[in-house]
């Protein structure tokens, strides 16, 4: 009888510890794996160092991510041309750059060369922003993923069941 009470007591201690661990903030790559839903309904799928952002079942962007402690680094590798009136295909930076610069490749006679240089710089700046490396901190509490940058909350996601 004493052994049964001791075993039951140990089981209770283990269960309480497990509940405490599950309830605490978790970080690391494995805790990020899965599909996360933002307040606007967009989905972020994280899978083995790769991510996809979807809205209304359309892939908006995809790329890679790395995790170090509670810091996560995202790099977009593809962006949906739908938002640039190019159709729903995904494009790399070099593909978008070639398309955008060829779309706006006006003859010099029709465009002031300073304007043309400014416009091509604008395209480069736009692409730098779309494909820039983003580093932020994250925490997971229960089924909520919170992103912060410089201590400021940026995004919040709920894990899809």
pTM greater than the 0.85 cutoff: no
pLDDT of residue 121: 86
Q: Does 87 have pLDDT greater than 90? A: no
The beta strands (E) that lie in the chain are given as 34-38, 43-47, 50-55, 58-68, 71-80, 90-91, 133-141, 144-149, 152-159
What are the chain's domains? 27-159 (2.40.128)
Among the listed residues 65, 70, 77, 38, the one whose alpha carbon sits nearest the alpha carbon of residue 54: 38
Could you report the per-residue pLDDT of 32-82, keeping only the tens digit for each?
899 999 999 999 999 999 999 999 999 999 999 999 988 999 999 999 998
C-alpha span between 89 and 105 (Å, rounded): 22
C-alpha span between 127 and 131 (Å, rounded): 6
pLDDT of residue 24: 34
pLDDT of residue 27: 45
pLDDT of residue 101: 82
Q: Is 128 helix (H, G, I), strand (E, B) or coil?
A: helix
């Amino acid at each position: 009888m004493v052994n049964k009470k001791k075993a039951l007591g140990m089981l209770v201690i283990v269960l309480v510890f497990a509940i405490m661990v599950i309830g605490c903030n978790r970080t690391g790559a494995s805790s990020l794996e899965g599909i996360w839903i933002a307040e606007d309904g967009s989905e972020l799928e994280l899978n083995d160092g790769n991510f996809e952002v979807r809205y209304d079942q359309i892939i908006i962007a995809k790329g890679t991510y790395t995790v170090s402690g509670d810091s996560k680094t995202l790099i977009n590798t593809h962006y949906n041309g739908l938002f640039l009136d190019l159709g729903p295909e995904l494009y790399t930076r070099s593909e978008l750059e070639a398309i955008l610069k060829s779309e706006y490749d006006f003859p010099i006679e029709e465009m002031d060369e300073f304007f043309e240089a400014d416009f091509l710089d604008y395209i480069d700046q736009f692409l730098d922003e779309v494909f820039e490396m983003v580093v932020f901190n994250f925490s997971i509490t229960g089924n909520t993923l919170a992103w912060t940058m410089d201590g400021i909350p940026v995004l919040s996601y709920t894990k899809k069941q």
